[in-house]
Amino acid sequence: MKSLSQVITKALYTNDCVIVPDFGGFITQKKSAFFDSHNQTLLPPSKQLTFNVQLHQNDGLLVNLFAMENHLAYEQSMSEIDLSVKHWKATLQNGEKLQLAQIGDFWCDAEGNIQFQQDRNVNLLLSAYGLESLHFVATVPEIVLPAKVKNKQHFWRYAAAATLLLPLAFYSFWIPTKTDVFEAGMISYKDFNPLHETHPGSYSGNKIALKPLVEVSEETYFQDRVEEIPNAPISQDNNDFSMATFHCIAGCFADPSNANRLKAKLQILGFSASVFEDGGLYKVSAGSGFSEDALTSISREASAKNIEVWILK
């Protein structure tokens, strides 16, 4: 058998007023959708339900519906409703709360008046069937931290310093260990090229015939003869050197001994080497002439023997 509260709920879906004999009447009123700002909830359209204890005269609607749902006669249906109403009143008189499923809660206030609160979880409006409440969650603005901007000025400063220091560190190691600059006493721009191959110089020895030694007795004396030598004319080679305006320079030294050492090396290689002082330095010439064209062959020969030369005008 269906309970009285179940039959009342079914009647409220299709009727605006349902009276429970000797208890009170339920009145429904359509309510539009509204937004509950306190709970941040959008409620769909519904039926607002109120209770009036003054409406207790039997209009036959509930009794007939109860009889139909439970297959009872009218008188029997009236008796079942009367038993349920007596039980409800006894609960309220004992100071307890009366809860009717899908309808609401009843209780008595301090003055003995019946109070009613509708069950908000049930929507009695058929046209709003399937619509649910929408709860809005406040969006929290995303905090975007500013990206750290790297100081490009510092980056380029370090890059420029690295560009200068790396070649300096490389050649500080390369020149002393891979070249003979300290042994030869001179430096060439090819020493700065790590890919340049250094070819050792080739030398040819000349056999010199020495006269046999003659033993001379300690008692043997020689009479020194001093021959008068007429004034010799100035050497033509010296005049040619001083008159020459172009020199094929192979090296410059502050120490004359280093200049003479290079001069001897060039002479062994077949060059007409000479040393002269210019500007406080001793310059070693591999050859000289009166024009740059005259020094072309000397420069070519020096390059073939891996000797760096430059033209001094």
Helices assigned H by DSSP within the chain: 4-14, 61-70, 74-93, 152-178, 181-184, 236-243, 256-268, 296-304
Q: What is the pLDDT of residue 74?
A: 93
Judged against a pLDDT cut of 90, whether residue 305 lies above it is answered with no
Sheet holding 24-31, edge to edge: 17-20, 24-31, 46-52
Judged against a pLDDT cut of 90, whether residue 206 lies above it is answered with no
My answer on whether 288 and 182 are in the same domain is yes
Mean pLDDT for 177-181 is 61
Whole-number Å distance between alpha carbons of 109 and 115: 7
Q: Which among 44-48, 113-117, 129-133, 138-142 has the top mean pLDDT?
A: 113-117
Q: Tell me the three state secondary structure of residue 270.
A: coil
Judged against a pLDDT cut of 60, whether residue 185 lies above it is answered with no
Q: How far is CA 97 from CA 4, 114, 121, 205, in A?
A: 17, 10, 18, 134
The total of structural domains in the chain comes to 2
Q: Which among 68-77, 139-148, 229-238 has the top mean pLDDT?
A: 68-77
Whole-number Å distance between alpha carbons of 18 and 26: 5
pLDDT category at 280 given cuts 50, 70, 90 is confident
In a domain? residue 186:
yes
Q: Tell me the three state secondary structure of residue 89.
A: helix
Q: What is the pLDDT of residue 230?
A: 42
Q: How far is CA 118 from CA 3, 62, 104, 122, in A?
A: 19, 19, 4, 9
In a domain? residue 203:
no
Judged against a pLDDT cut of 60, whether residue 181 lies above it is answered with no
Least confident of 19-23, 122-126, 221-225: 221-225
Percent of the chain with pLDDT over 70: 74
In a domain? residue 228:
no
Mean pLDDT for all residues in the chain: 79
Judged against a pLDDT cut of 60, whether residue 24 lies above it is answered with yes
Distance, first Cα to last Cα, the chain: 134
Q: How far is CA 106 from CA 52, 83, 85, 119, 125, in A?
A: 12, 18, 13, 11, 22
In a domain? residue 210:
no
Least confident of 60-64, 128-132, 215-219: 215-219
Q: Report CA 168 to chain centroid distance, whole Å.
A: 31
Q: What is the pLDDT of residue 69?
A: 93
Whole-number Å distance between alpha carbons of 132 and 305: 102
In a domain? residue 204:
no
My answer on whether 33 and 114 are in the same domain is yes
In a domain? residue 119:
yes
Give the structural domain span for 78. Answer: 4-135
> Residue 35 is encoded by which pair of tokens?
């937004």
Judged against a pLDDT cut of 90, whether residue 219 lies above it is answered with no
Q: Between 111 and 37, where is the model more confident?
A: 111
Q: How far is CA 216 from CA 5, 37, 213, 219, in A?
A: 162, 140, 9, 8
My answer on whether 12 and 124 are in the same domain is yes
My answer on whether 86 and 182 are in the same domain is no
In a domain? residue 37:
yes
> Residue 201 is encoded by which pair of tokens?
């110089």
My answer on whether 30 and 112 are in the same domain is yes
My answer on whether 99 and 185 are in the same domain is no
Judged against a pLDDT cut of 70, whether residue 274 lies above it is answered with yes
pLDDT in tens, 259-270: 999 999 999 988
**Crossing angle for the helix pair 74-93 and 4-14, nearest 10 degrees?**
100
Supply angle C-alpha 262, 264, 267, rounded to 5.
110
Type of residue at 269 = L
Q: Between 289 and 182, where is the model more confident?
A: 289
Residue 299 sits in a domain whose CATH number is: 3.30.70.1070
In a domain? residue 31:
yes
Count CB neighbours of 77 within 10 A: 21
Type of residue at 39 = N
Q: pTM for this one?
A: 0.43
